[in-house]
Amino acid sequence: MTSSDTPDQPVPQADTAAALMESLAEQLGSRASVSAVFGEPVTSDGITIIPVAEIGFGFAGGTGPEAGAANTGEGGGGAGARPRGYIEIKDGTATYKPLRAPWAKVAVPLAALLAGTFIPLLVRRLVKRRPR
């Protein structure tokens, strides 16, 4: 008599969890491909652009204490993508061009301006307070 003939006999919990995790990994892994990271190339006026993205996958699963045919476990997962830049191919030369956050073009110079204005004032006040 095999274990498949007796459905009321408990299956070890580790085996059920491993099967569940393997199933989740197969489902999410089948969606991960080069085309998910590198988009379809676009060519215009002798310049080819290939979009580049960052892809992240995550999944989890588990079973309860009553492992067996009635409790096959539960799990879930997800994926996310963020554009990171593009590859420009022009005259036989490929160049990666990252996408920058638009706030960085404003925030960094503004922070430098504020620091350049207020740090000297602060230093002057501290020097005046210092006893001689």
**Tens-place pLDDT, residues 83-132:** 889 999 999 999 999 988 777 778 888 899 999 999 988 888 888 887 76
Helical segments of 34-103, H only: 34-37
- Name the phi and psi angles at 8, rounded to 5: -85, -5
Answer whether residue 48 shows pLDDT above 70: yes
Instruction: Identify whether the C-beta of residue 67 lies closer than 8 Å to the C-beta of residue 12.
Output: yes
Q: Is the pLDDT of residue 2 over 60?
A: no
Query: How many whole angstroms separate alpha carbon 106 and alpha carbon 113?
Result: 11
Predicted confidence (pLDDT) at residue 45 exceeds the cutoff of 70: yes
Q: Are 96 and 52 in contact (CB under 8 A)?
A: yes
Per-residue pLDDT for 74 more than 80? no
- What is the distance between the terminal CA atoms of the chain, rounded to a whole angstrom? 96
pLDDT of 3-26, one tens digit each? 455 455 544 555 666 776 777 667
